[in-house]
Structure 1
Amino acid sequence: MTTDPFDDRKARAARWFRDLRDRIVAAFEDLEDAQPGDTAPGRFEVTPTRRAAPDGGDAGGGLMSVMRGGRVFEKVGVNVSTVFGTLGARAQKAMAARGVPGMADDPRFWASGISLVAHMQNPHAPAVHMNTRMFWTPHAWWFGGGADLNPCIEYPEDTAHFHAQMQAACDAHDAAYYPRFKAWADEYFFVPHRGRARGVGGIFYDDHNTGDWDADFAFTRSVGAAFLPAFLPLADRRRTTPWSTADREVQLVHRGLYAEYNLVYDRGTKFGLETGHDANAVLMSLPPVAKWP
C-alpha cells in the first residue's frame, strides 16, 4: 500500500487548526464571564458537520461552534473542518483557472482550516473575521487565510493595533509579506457595487506556496496565533462603552454591507456551497440581524 508523503503534513495542519479553535473558544467564553450582566454569560453550542459526498460515502467534516445572544458577542462562530473527495466540474474549472494542473485527470482534493466571524453586542466593538487553511491536490498544495477588522464605528487606535499585530506576524517570516498581503486584503475585501471596503482591512493571502511546506505552515501558524492578541484587547476595551439607538442603527446597516459581501463575493462561501459542505456552517458568517438603507 502506497503512503501519501503528505499524510503527516495534512494531519499536522488539521491538528493545528483544531488547537487554535479550542484556544479561541476558551478565550471568548472567558471574555463573556468578565462582562457584567443580568443574563448568563454566552457559551458556544458545538455541532458536528459533514460534507455531503455524491456517493454517500465519507467526505470529512468538522465542528461548528456558535454562540448567540451572549453578553459581549451577539453572534460568533468558530468553525473547523477537514474535508476531502473529488471536485465537481465547476470546482475543477475554478482550480484550473487558478493555475492548478491536471485536475481533469485526477480531481481529488483535501482541505482543512479554521474560519471565524464575530458580530458584537456593543456597536463600538468591531466585528472581525479570521481564517487559515491548507488545500491539497495530487498536483499542488497551498495555504491561505488572513484576518480583517470590520468596525461600524472606527477608532483609529484600534485599527492601528490590529494592523500592528498582523504586521508582526508577517515580519517574523518575510518583510515583504505585510505590504503585499495588506494590499491584497484591501483589494479582496472591497465591495464593488458599493464602491467601498467592508471594513478597515488586515491581511489576506491565498495560493501560498514558496516550495517550503514547513516555512509556509509556520507562517500560517503565526497568522492564526496573532488573532487573539490583535482582537481581544479591542473587544475588551469597547465592550462596556455606552451606546445609543443611533449607534445600533449604524451597526445594523454596516452588517448589511458585510452580508452582501459574503453572499456575493467571498471565495470561501462559494467553495463551501459548491463542494457540498454543511450549508449552516458555510453561512455561519452572516450576522444575526442587519438592515439596509
Structure 2
Amino acid sequence: MLVGFSVGKRKSRPWIVSDELWSLVEPLLPEPEPKLVAGRPRVPDRQALCGILFVLHTGIQWEYLPQELGFGSGMTCWRRLAAWNEAGVWHRLHVVLLARLRTARQLDWSRAVIDSPRQGRSAGPKSGPSPVDRARPGSKHHVLVDGQGIPLAVSLTGGNRNDVTQLMPLLAKIPPVPGLVGRPRRRPETLLGDRGYDHYKYRRLVRATGVKPVIARHGVLHGSGLGVHRWVVERTIAWLHGFRRLRIRWERRDDLHEAFLGLATCLITHRHVQRLC
C-alpha cells in the first residue's frame, strides 16, 4: 500500500496525489491493455502517478525509485508516463484546469507574457549547441503565461534556437479554453516580450492574429520598461525549475522530457485552481 495519503502530510510529501487532483486525472487516463499472460497484479494508476511525481520533484533516476513506498518499479512508472503522454493526458488536464479558472473569471486575458530560459546541458532530439555555453548541447523551455503567471503554453527546443522563432508556434499552442457562454477563448489582448522577440516580421505576424505586440526594442538605453508586468513569467519559470527533473534534461527522448514539462505545467495551474476553494 502507498504510504502517506493523509492530507496533513501532503506538504512534506508533494508527490502524494490528493483526492481532488485524482478526481480530475482519473477520467482522462486511457483504458489499460488486457494482460495476455498471468503474472503480477497491475500497479494501480494512482500509485504509479505518485511514483512519477516523486521523480519529477526529486530528480531521482528511475532505477532508484523507492519501491517500498508503493510506487511500483521505475520501469512501470516510466512506461505509464510515456503512455499517458502519448494519449494526451497532460494536455487535456491542462485544458480542464484552465476552463475552471476561466469559469471563475480568474484568467487574465488582457495580456500574456513570453520568455525562453535556457535549460541545463542535454543530449538527444530537441537539443542543440548553446551559443552562450561554448557550443555545448542544451535545450530551452519556452513559456507563455497570462497576466497573473498562469501557464497557457510551454514547449521544448534546442538551445541554439532563437527565441523569436518560437513566438508564433507558442502563441498558436494556447488551447481553446471554454468555461463561459460563447466560443472558447485562446487569444490574449496583448503579448509582452523582451528584446529577444524584437523583430518587425514577428510583430506583424502577431498583429495579424488580433494580438497587440508589446515587445522591448533593441538599443533602448534604460531598459524595456516592461518589468512591472514581465516578472510573472520569470516567477512561473522559477516554479517550473523548482521541479528538479526539469532543471537538467536527463531524458534523451524528447517526448519524455516534454511529458514532465506538461505534467509540471498542470501542477502549477492546479495550484491556482486550489485557491478558488
TM-score (norm 2): 0.28
* Larger RCO: 1 or 2 (CA < 8 Å, sep 6+): 2
Q: Which has the larger radius of gyration?
A: 2
Structure with more of its chain in strand, by fraction: 1
